[in-house]
Each structure stands twice: as C-alpha cells, then as structure tokens.
A and B are shown apart, each in its own frame.
Chain A
Amino acid sequence: MENTVTQDGIASVLSLDSSSAQPQIIVQVVDLKPVGNRYTFNANDGKMKIKAMLPATLSSEIVSGKIQNLGLIRLVDYTPNDIPGKSGEKYLLVTKCEAVASALDSEVKSEVKASTGITLKPKQEFVAKSASQIINEQRGNAAPAARMAMTRRVHPLVSLNPYQGSWTIKVRVTNKGVLRTYKNARGEGCVFNVELTDEEGTQIQATMFNAAAKKFYDTFQKGKVYYISRGQLKLANKQFKTVQNDYEMTLNEYSEVEEAGSEEMFIPETKFNFVPIDELGPYVNQKELVDVIGVVQSVSPTMSIRRKSDNEMIPKRDIVLADETKKTVVVSLWNDLATDLGQELLDMADKYPVIAIKSLKVGDFQGVSLSTISKSNVVVNPDLPEAAKLKSWYDSEGKEMSMSAIGNGMSPSANNGSRSMYSDRVCLSHFTTNPSLGEDKPVFFSTRAYISFIKPDQAMWYRGCKTCNKKVTEAMDSGYWCEGCQKKDEECSLRYIMAVKVSDSTGEAWFSAFNDEAEKMIGCTADELNKLKAEEGEGNEFQTKLKEATWSSHLFRVSVSQQEYNSEKRQRITVRGVAPVDFAAETRLLLQDISKNNKSSQ
C-alpha cells in the first residue's frame, strides 16, 4: 500500500551489499531541517531511523510543501555513506526521491501486529506549509541547542541581502527599543526594534510588528547574543536610518530567534567612533549623530522640562564633559538617563569618572551642546584604551587645568543660529560649480557674501494671514480670507518673498529669502517698504532703501535643493538665516584657510 512505510526498509538498505539492486523503499520524513541550502532529515520506517540528506535540487519541493515533515517519500536513488568521524553509523545520501503522502499525524511506530501493518490516514487537508512552519512544528522534538549550533552555518551581517534565501546570523543586541503602540489608517498595532551587531562589527536594525513584536519582545535582551534566521531584508529608509547599513530587517512570527547560551564567541561590544570635543563644531545642527568620551567634571541636579509637543514634563540633567583637547562641553541627559544614570554619576562625581556616549545629537545652544536621544547608549568607565588614556591625562594634568567651553571660541551673537554661520562654510563658487547640489535632500551651508542686486520691480511680498502667515485671498466684499484659519480678517500683513543677487570674490548667485531673513537684509518690514513704495514725490525713499541694502555684506545660512521648472531641474538656494559679519571671526577663518593652503601646497 502506498500509504505506509516499507517495513524494515532501513534495515534492508543497510544490509545491502554492493552487488544487489537498491530497493525503492518508502520512509517517513521526520526532523526535517535545513542546513545551508540543503535539507537533512531522519528516515523513519517505523522500527528504525537513519540520518539522511536531500540534495539542494530537491529543496524547492520542500519549500513548496510537496515533501513535508512527517510525510512519506519513496527513496528511488540513494547511497548509504559512513558518517565521517563516527565509525559504524551511516547516513543516506538521497539523490532521487518522490513524495508519496503528505504529513501524517505523527511519527510512524510499528506497535500493531505485523500482519495488518499500520494504516495511518494522512491528513485530509493538504496544507501547504512553508519550510519555516515545518521547522516551528518540529521544534517540539527539537534537537538540543548545542547540536543545532554545530550544524548551523553563520552568515556575516554584511553578506545579507533581500535576494538570499536562508541564512542564520549570530548577533548581539546592542540596543533595544521600547514596545510602542500605533494607530494608522489600517488599524492599530505595536512595534519595537532592536539594533543588532555581529562579530565583524556590522550593524543592522531589525523591526517586529504586532504578533512578532509580542513574541520576541521578552526574548531579546540588550547585551545578549542570539542566532536569528528567517528574517526579511529590504532597503533601509534613508530618512530613518539609525545604523550604517543599506538594508534593514523585519522579523515575523515565523522568524527564528534563539539565544546563543553555552558557546563563547567574541562579539564586539558597542562600537564607538569618538569625536574629540574641539572637533564638534561642524556637527552642529546636522542630522549626523556623534559619539564622545570624556571625564565628567560636574553633574547638575535633575530639572523638569515641559515638552512643547504634548506639554508633558520630562526630566533632564546636564553634565559637563572634558577631554584632552582641553575643551569642555555640556551634555543634556533626558528621561531615564537623567534620573537613573544621572544619579549614578552624581554619586561618583568626586571620582571624576570617564563616560563614553554613543549617538548624541549636536545642537547650537551656547555654541555647541550635546543632547541624548532615545537610542543613546552610555557606558561608565568603559574598558577602552581611550578611557584609560583620558583617566591618566585627567589625573596628571586635566584636573588642575582651567578649560574653556567649546562654544566659547566663536564670538557671541544675539542671533539664533548664528553659530551655524561657521559650519559648512563655502564660497559662492561652490554653488556655481556644483549645479546638482541638493538632489536627494536639501544641503545646508553657510557663506559670507554681499547683496549685489535687488530687482525693484519684482513681486517682493505676498499678502499673509496675521495669525498663521499663510497666503490669504481677497474676499469679495472687503478684507481677506485665510483658508488655513477659516476666517476673514479686515487686514493682512505683507510678508517678504524676494529674490536677491549676491556676490563674493569667487562668483555670484541668486538667493530666495522669506520674511524674517529679508527683513534683516532690507532693514524694515514689508509693510513699511510698501508704504515707501506708494509714496509720491521727489525723493523716492523706496529706491533709496533698496540701494542702502545693496553692497552690504552678511553671513548667510542657506539650503540648496533642486526644483523643476518646465521639466528642467534648477538649483534653488533659500536663505534660512542672516547674521551680521563678525570681522574678527571672519579674519580667523581666513587665517585658517591661508595656513591650510600653505600646508597643502608644500
């Protein structure tokens, strides 16, 4: 009968001598599992089990569900081989086989009288199971973890891509996010992600939703090492990229996560890329996060700050870090880092501990400031050579030294964002020689230039709503209607939107300026300038005002992007900030440039 295993099939195969023909026997497939791109299983004939291996060519039959675990197959062509290193024990290398029946209810065991044989009805429904489902089912009779690990081939994270089928990685969870709930158009759900690092230091982010999130949230613990397989790879969303990897991973309920308990294998601890405090300048207000290491000079008490977005109060603590560049910087710790870690640091403040922090945001408060974010990672007195060097420097020199804050090097200015007037400094030629700047996303620069021309007959302003500044439309009767506020106002305010030409010693360019920045450049509000324009009579004050603004120099913070005009891409430079020229600071920049040019030409 086709629905049973061949009685004593395995015994007959093993007792074969080389001359006799190979019988085609039917066996039940049990313990089916993948090894690399092939599958191994135990062939069961009810009495005996023998290890067996299927060729890679048949893997697709398993994945498609034709050959199933607990199902029956007919071995057509096979070779019994000795298992290397285990004399006496053989395994079957199957070269050809056919699926005979789908998964039976359980393993075949011949307990009943031999005469009637055993008739087990295969399951009525043919459920096409994916290989991962089969694996999960036979987890019940899973081999102990140690044996699994030995047969597992671990892939380096750097080799993973969306087109590779089965892989297993061995990684440490270097960061674990919180389980968040969300609500979107499709419904509600929960999500969390983890940051994984492998032996080579490569990192990747793995995200889990809903069922998978619930399943693995307690499994993953920061600092522990896991084997993971059956995750899905896709291109990382550059906007939310948190680790250096082109891909990101998603794990679902069928993904496998197993703690690598008993083995010792070196997985690197958090990989830091330290920026010395005096080199933090260029990172101010940039998206890129930095890592720093320094000696804790002081710890402030906990403060409560009201978050603007939801009026919630969150704890914050400021600490001052110093390093061998003889500069100090303030690091703001938020939430748990402020309360727990902050207290820890306060308690050991008199020992001047060294701390290393990964993933800090660089802001421009008081020149240069650092701030923790949810994924920031702090290690106190880390076991790193940099830490030892810092400690010995501080004990010998640093303690007594009076150091200056990194933000102080630059001249003070009342303007917001004037600090960023010194980062990413370029000349106008940088824009003219790079027409495709800002192709993917806007790029920011600072520059010093003269306003060289303001066209008097351009539309310099638009009518804006007094409340929300959006453009208003003229109402039928009188007054103005704001679509955003959904109300009418008798008056509106004029707001600048103008194009100005700027020049410097390297070239010229056109900048677009909006209200706040244009006001600083012209020296009066749009309403005031409009009044001057409307004036009749001899002295055209309007023209004079524009003339006065021309050939004045300013520091500009600009963003460069690409805009389409009649299917043609054009560079658009928008002014984001204006500040008066600080001549002493500019001179210092020029002196730096001169000495840099000398070094390169030597």
Chain B
Amino acid sequence: MDTSSPAAFVNGALLRRYIGQKVRAVVQVIRSDIGSVTGKSTDDQQIVVKGSPPPSLTTFLEVIGIAESDNTIRADVWTNFGDNFDAGNYNELCKLANGEFRHMFI
C-alpha cells in the first residue's frame, strides 16, 4: 500500500475521484460480515469496506485504505468512532477538504 501520500477525506460522492488512491471515510455500520462491512457514507450512499474488521463495532467507524471502486474501499486501518457522531458535520468537512480548502489537506 502506498503510505507516502495523505488519505483524502471522502464521502460516497467523492470516492470515485480517488480510485487507486489512499482515502479515509467515516461510515455508519449497516451490516457486518466476515471480511467486509457494509456501511452508509455521510452522504447516505452505500460503501462496502473490505478487509478484517475488528471483532466489535460501534455505530460509526472510520476506515483508511485504498479506494477500489466508486463504492468499495480496501481498508487497513479500522477505528471505532462510537455511537454519537455528527455525520452532517463530517460531510461538510469532506466537501471543504476537497473543494476550496484542498490546498490545506492534500
């Protein structure tokens, strides 16, 4: 995995811009299986996260990994973000970090 570049903050709509690149996203866990977690992005789109999820999951989960397609991430880092998380704020952050304040992030 390419560890030199920073991970871009993405939601469902922004994921397709970074296919093959390192991304990070917070998703709301909908379903968890062996080897993958299906989650809802902060802009209400479905994202599948592949890899080895931790044994117990909270409602919100941050994953960092490579974007494989416009709705899949292969994650190496999984972090539980608890049950209280403001998805709206995070979504705005994604938009700003990839928009006019891009220069501060990438």
Chain A, 569-593, CB within 8 A of any chain B CB: 584, 587-588, 591
**Taking each of B86, B88, B96, B100, which has the highest tally of chain A beta carbons within 10 Å of its own beta carbon?**
B86
Q: Nearest-CB distance from A438 to chain B (Å)? A: 34
**A587, B96: Cβ atoms closer than 8 Å:** no
CB of B92 within 8 A of chain A? yes
CB of B4 within 8 A of chain A? no
Interface size class of A (residues with CB under 8 A): under 10
**B96, A584: Cβ atoms closer than 8 Å:** no
**B86, A584: Cβ atoms closer than 8 Å:** yes
Chain B, 54-106, CB within 8 A of any chain A CB: 86, 88-89, 92, 96, 100
Chain A, 284-332, CB within 8 A of any chain B CB: none
Complex Cα–Cα for A594 and B88 (A): 15
Complex Cα–Cα for A598 and B99 (A): 13
Closest A residue by C-beta to B100: A598
Complex Cα–Cα for A588 and B86 (A): 10
Complex Cα–Cα for A181 and B16 (A): 77
**B89, A588: Cβ atoms closer than 8 Å:** yes
Closest B residue by C-beta to A411: B86
Chain B residues contacting A587 (CB-CB under 8 Å) are 86, 89
Chain B residues contacting A584 (CB-CB under 8 Å) are 86, 89
Main secondary structure of the interface of B (DSSP, over half): helix
Closest A residue by C-beta to B86: A584
Q: Nearest-CB distance from B82 to chain A (Å)? A: 12
Chain B, 24-73, CB within 8 A of any chain A CB: none
Chain B residues contacting A598 (CB-CB under 8 Å) are 100
**B86, A591: Cβ atoms closer than 8 Å:** no
Interface size class of B (residues with CB under 8 A): under 10
Complex Cα–Cα for A584 and B86 (A): 6
Chain A residues contacting B86 (CB-CB under 8 Å) are 584, 587-588
Complex Cα–Cα for A587 and B96 (A): 13
Chain B residues contacting A588 (CB-CB under 8 Å) are 86, 88-89
Complex Cα–Cα for A598 and B96 (A): 12
Complex Cα–Cα for A584 and B85 (A): 8
Closest B residue by C-beta to A595: B92
Q: Nearest-CB distance from A40 to chain B (Å)? A: 75
Q: Nearest-CB distance from B74 to chain A (Å)? A: 29
**A594, B89: Cβ atoms closer than 8 Å:** no
Complex Cα–Cα for A151 and B4 (A): 92
Chain A, 544-602, CB within 8 A of any chain B CB: 584, 587-588, 591, 594, 598
Complex Cα–Cα for A584 and B96 (A): 17
Complex Cα–Cα for A594 and B89 (A): 13
Complex Cα–Cα for A588 and B93 (A): 11
Complex Cα–Cα for A301 and B102 (A): 56
Complex Cα–Cα for A588 and B89 (A): 7
Complex Cα–Cα for A169 and B29 (A): 72
Q: Nearest-CB distance from A596 to chain B (Å)? A: 14
Chain A residues contacting B96 (CB-CB under 8 Å) are 594
Closest B residue by C-beta to A584: B86
Q: Nearest-CB distance from A81 to chain B (Å)? A: 80
Q: Nearest-CB distance from A516 to chain B (Å)? A: 28
Chain A, 344-366, CB within 8 A of any chain B CB: none
Complex Cα–Cα for A594 and B96 (A): 10
Complex Cα–Cα for A76 and B57 (A): 110
Complex Cα–Cα for A588 and B90 (A): 10
Chain A residues contacting B88 (CB-CB under 8 Å) are 588
Closest B residue by C-beta to A583: B86
Q: Nearest-CB distance from B42 to chain A (Å)? A: 13
Complex Cα–Cα for A598 and B88 (A): 19
Complex Cα–Cα for A110 and B100 (A): 100
Chain B residues contacting A594 (CB-CB under 8 Å) are 96
Q: Nearest-CB distance from A602 to chain B (Å)? A: 11
Complex Cα–Cα for A591 and B88 (A): 11
Q: Nearest-CB distance from B11 to chain A (Å)? A: 15
Closest A residue by C-beta to B96: A594
Complex Cα–Cα for A591 and B92 (A): 8
Q: Nearest-CB distance from B70 to chain A (Å)? A: 26
Chain A, 117-133, CB within 8 A of any chain B CB: none
Q: Nearest-CB distance from A409 to chain B (Å)? A: 12
Question: Interface digits, A206-237 against B, CB 8 Å rule (1 contact, 0 not)?
Answer: 00000000000000000000000000000000
Q: Nearest-CB distance from B27 to chain A (Å)? A: 18
Closest B residue by C-beta to A582: B86
Q: Nearest-CB distance from B52 to chain A (Å)? A: 30
Complex Cα–Cα for A220 and B88 (A): 57
Complex Cα–Cα for A382 and B27 (A): 50
Closest A residue by C-beta to B85: A584
Complex Cα–Cα for A594 and B99 (A): 13
Chain B residues contacting A591 (CB-CB under 8 Å) are 89, 92
Q: Nearest-CB distance from B17 to chain A (Å)? A: 22
Closest B residue by C-beta to A598: B100
Complex Cα–Cα for A598 and B101 (A): 12
Q: Nearest-CB distance from A586 to chain B (Å)? A: 10
Q: Nearest-CB distance from A585 to chain B (Å)? A: 9
Complex Cα–Cα for A594 and B93 (A): 11
Q: Nearest-CB distance from A361 to chain B (Å)? A: 32
Complex Cα–Cα for A533 and B88 (A): 46
Complex Cα–Cα for A598 and B95 (A): 14
Closest B residue by C-beta to A585: B86
Q: Nearest-CB distance from A15 to chain B (Å)? A: 96
Closest A residue by C-beta to B95: A591
Q: Nearest-CB distance from B49 to chain A (Å)? A: 24
Q: Nearest-CB distance from A331 to chain B (Å)? A: 30
Complex Cα–Cα for A587 and B85 (A): 12
Closest A residue by C-beta to B84: A584
Chain A residues contacting B92 (CB-CB under 8 Å) are 591
11 A–B contacts, CB within 8 A, in A order: A584-B86, A584-B89, A587-B86, A587-B89, A588-B86, A588-B88, A588-B89, A591-B89, A591-B92, A594-B96, A598-B100
Binding site for A on B (CB under 8 A): 86, 88-89, 92, 96, 100
The 10 tightest CB contacts between A and B, nearest first, are A584-B86, A587-B89, A591-B92, A584-B89, A588-B89, A587-B86, A591-B89, A594-B96, A598-B100, A588-B88
Binding site for B on A (CB under 8 A): 584, 587-588, 591, 594, 598
Not counting A584-B89, A587-B89, A588-B88, a sample of 8 additional A-B residue pairs whose C-beta atoms are within 8 angstroms of each other reads A584-B86, A587-B86, A588-B86, A588-B89, A591-B89, A591-B92, A594-B96, A598-B100
